[in-house]
A and B are shown apart, each in its own frame.
Chain A
Amino acid sequence: MSSTKYILGLFDDPDEMMNGIDNLQRNSVPIYDVYTPMPIHGIEAKLGIKESRLGYAAFMFGCLGGTIVFSMICYMLVLDWPMNIGGKMHFAVPDFIPITFEWTVLFTAFGMTGTFFFATHLFPGRAPRVMDLRATNDRFVIAIDAKGNIPHDDITNLLKQSGAVEVKHNDRKYVSYE
């Protein structure tokens, strides 16, 4: 029984890595995750990752921000302390537009980015879950859960055939805790 936990295929070219994904999937090898130094379009479709719903979150946060500040201004300038400015009406909507717009943008930005950090588990001080240190530099890494995916040599061969420059059999899931 080998102690391998994860098999990593390291590629130095994104196109070859895409081949690698295809090759593994043709042979019914499930892929755990893929780590790349830059966004590669088309992986999410291959791995069956659904489209992000952050856009909806952004829209809702925007609506919230606009509503909050518009209601706030109306309460302050119309209901709580209406001021007579040259006899003009208190409910001066055009004057309220700039700040309503600013807070719509503010809430969208902070709400959406906060949701992104929350959903992706990003926060200052989080231990980075890195499988290979070069995945943020110049290696495109396909990770395969070794458990149940046997024989390991076949997977190694598949990765090598697709153009992997290196195949690693790691005993630990993440290297970055060292």
Chain B
Amino acid sequence: MASHNESIIREPLITGKDITYAKITEDILSPVENKPNKAWWIGFTVASLGALLWVFAVSYTFWYGIGAWGLNKTVGWAWDITGFVWWVGIGHAGTLISAVLLLFRQNWRNSINRSAEAMTIFAVICAATYIVAHMGRPWLAYFSLPLPNQYGSLWVNFNSPLVWDVFAISTYFSVSLVFWYTGLLPDIATIRDRAKGLRRRIYSIMSFGWSGSVKTWQRFETVSLILAGISTPLVLSVHTIVSMDFATSLEPGWHTTIFPPYFVAGAIFSGFAMVQTLLLVTRKVLGLENYITMFHIESMNKIILLTGSIVGVAYLTEFFIAYYSGSEYEQYTFLNRFIGPYWWAGCMMYGCNVLMTQLMWFKKVRTNIPIAWALSIIVNIGMWFERFVIIVVSLHRDYIPSSWAMFYPSWIDVSVFIGSIGVFFTLFLLFIRVLPSIAMAEVKLLLKSASEQAKKKLIDEGHVEESQAEFYKESLTKFDSVEIADYEKV
């Protein structure tokens, strides 16, 4: 049958009373079908000013060359690659939510996967802009592809992790885009069938003529499952390969076998933090508290805690291996993170990523929205500093003391970074205006089994054991979108 009763002790995934299929559509489409409010315009104005700053800073870089950045002979890789790895890492959570949680049948992904995937795509776009910007002569970008040429043909070196990265990032971006857009088709069709005139025309083209017939849905589900199956190893491979950009070199601080799992955990860590940053605001501003519930928030905080702890273990392992290796260069690199001129960056890295996230062990912290939001931002700051420490602090003092140098970002460096945040938020704000920020079809699937009203009905009808009902009511107290008073009478 289409639906069955879910165990009462599981927390509800949709809260609120009198939720119908039509109400789900109404609630989720209201930002798409109505004029934007003031909060959106303010956000959009600030974000697009940021995006303009990016356009300016990148144009300046192209005009005057990479010399506009703070790089020098010793630190030849700094701000740009830090930003690149940071953004790629942020992207990972979207794929994790949409693919890995689908394979594990975690139904709570249904209401957050769409916006998380959109975030993935925008984050990878931001990451890609750094690659293009740091080339200096971006019109020669095709040199990174194995195209026949007049030098022999001289092919690209497929032994190099940088070439692997070209393939990994482009595959990751395009597969994520396909996954996201295929999932969007039924929801775009919903907008189309409610719209009139030109809007209907536009959404009709975008909907690819989706009809929702049995065969379409059946194939759609097969496609989603297989895309999830291949995206799971893909997302792990992407940050593995990004980490190999560093790990295959001989630089102390980079030449480490732990890098691939360490980077992947860090990527998921920072990605979930960014999802949290965005969704806590989106849920409030768009009034989606019934669909993105406290259960979702707490679950994401648990993942942040888990991955943050994995990152913490990786840090400890690095220190131990540096000590145990007996290599003085390696040992100095790790000491230098605390006693060198960039000690503050090291403190930010270890403090934000390890110490602060350990607060998530407390349920009070995990379910407190302002604190969770602040922590999610702290995690992203920490993860930025992690990349800065790994890249700049390792490079600035390597084997030969005579070549030691400092890296100071130029204002163009800073502008490119702030600008890319502007680009990201501009894209995200446009997304929530024109496309549904929650996968409507997937949330509708949960209505009859995992919603608060379905469970309340079970309790009211006396189908559940008393002790289990008590346990369930107890779990509802943390929800900010549930009227606990309704349960007192029962």
Q: Which chain A residues have a beta carbon within 8 Å of chain B's beta carbons?
A: 12-15, 17-18, 33-44, 47, 49, 52, 54-55, 58, 62, 72-73, 76-77, 80-81, 83, 85, 92, 95-96, 98-99, 101-103, 105-106, 108-110, 112-113, 116-117, 119-130, 133-138, 176
Q: A18–B1 contact, CB under 8 A?
A: yes
User: Interface readout for B200-234 with A: 1 if CB under 8 Å, 0 if not?
Assistant: 00001111111111111111111100110011011
Q: Does B182 contact A (CB under 8 A)?
A: yes
Give Cα distance in the complex from A98 to B178, angstroms: 21
Give the interface segment out of B80-88, B146-154, B371-379: B146-154
Whole-angstrom distance between the Cβ of A111 and the nearest chain B Cβ: 11
Q: B205–A125 contact, CB under 8 A?
A: yes
Q: Which 7 A-B pairs have the closest CB atoms?
A: A126-B209, A138-B21, A14-B2, A122-B208, A76-B155, A138-B22, A39-B217
Given A113-B223, A136-B186, do A38 and B442 touch, yes or no (CB 8 Å)?
Answer: yes
Contact partner of B152 (CB less than 8 A), chosen from A33, A58, A81, is: A81
Task: Report chain A residues within 8 Å CB of B212.
Answer: 35-37, 135-136
Whole-angstrom distance between the Cβ of A93 and the nearest chain B Cβ: 11
Give Cα distance in the complex from A122 to B230, angstroms: 22
Whole-angstrom distance between the Cβ of B434 and the nearest chain A Cβ: 16
Q: A76–B193 contact, CB under 8 A?
A: no
Q: Which residue of B lies closest to A85 (CB)?
A: B159
User: Interface readout for B162-183 with A: 1 if CB under 8 Å, 0 if not?
Assistant: 0110011001001100110010
Task: Report chain A residues within 8 Å CB of B164.
Answer: 98-99, 102
Main secondary structure of the interface of B (DSSP, over half): helix
Q: A108–B226 contact, CB under 8 A?
A: yes
User: Interface readout for B333-362 with A: 1 if CB under 8 Å, 0 if not?
Assistant: 000000000000000000000000000000
Given A52-B218, A138-B21, do A124 and B205 touch, yes or no (CB 8 Å)?
Answer: yes
Q: Does B192 contact A (CB under 8 A)?
A: yes
Contact partner of B182 (CB less than 8 A), chosen from A18, A34, A113, is: A113
Q: A39-B441, A105-B175, A105-B231 are in contact. List 14 more A-B contacts (CB 8 A).
A: A35-B213, A38-B186, A38-B442, A43-B214, A77-B155, A81-B153, A98-B164, A109-B231, A110-B178, A116-B220, A121-B209, A127-B204, A128-B193, A136-B186
Whole-angstrom distance between the Cβ of B89 and the nearest chain A Cβ: 18
Whole-angstrom distance between the Cβ of B447 and the nearest chain A Cβ: 9
Q: Does B20 contact A (CB under 8 A)?
A: yes
Q: B193–A137 contact, CB under 8 A?
A: yes
Q: B158–A96 contact, CB under 8 A?
A: yes
Task: Report chain A residues within 8 Å CB of B158.
Answer: 73, 76-77, 95-96, 99
Give Cα distance in the complex from A122 to B186, angstroms: 12
Contact partner of A110 (CB less than 8 A), chosen from B155, B174, B213, B441, is: B174
- Interface CB pairs A-B, < 8 A, 16: A12-B20, A35-B211, A38-B186, A38-B217, A38-B445, A44-B214, A54-B222, A77-B157, A80-B153, A83-B157, A108-B226, A109-B175, A129-B211, A130-B211, A135-B211, A136-B190
Q: Does B185 contact A (CB under 8 A)?
A: yes
Q: Which chain B residues have a beta carbon within 8 Å of chain A's beta carbons?
A: 1-3, 20-22, 25, 146, 152-155, 157-159, 161, 163-164, 167-168, 171, 174-175, 178-179, 182, 185-186, 189-190, 192-194, 204-223, 226-227, 230-231, 233-234, 237, 241, 440-442, 444-445, 448
Task: Report chain A residues within 8 Å CB of B163.
Answer: 99
Give Cα distance in the complex from A119 to B444, angstroms: 26
Q: B3–A39 contact, CB under 8 A?
A: no
Q: B223–A54 contact, CB under 8 A?
A: yes
Whole-angstrom distance between the Cβ of B213 and the nearest chain A Cβ: 5
Task: Report chain A residues within 8 Å CB of B223.
Answer: 54, 112-113, 116
Task: Report chain B residues within 8 Å CB of A33.
Answer: 213-215
Q: Which residue of A lies closest to B182 (CB)?
A: A113
Task: Report chain B residues within 8 Å CB of A54.
Answer: 219, 222-223, 226
Q: Which residue of A lies closest to B159 (CB)?
A: A95
Q: A128–B230 contact, CB under 8 A?
A: no
Whole-angstrom distance between the Cβ of A105 and the nearest chain B Cβ: 5
Q: Which residue of A lies closest to B240 (CB)?
A: A98
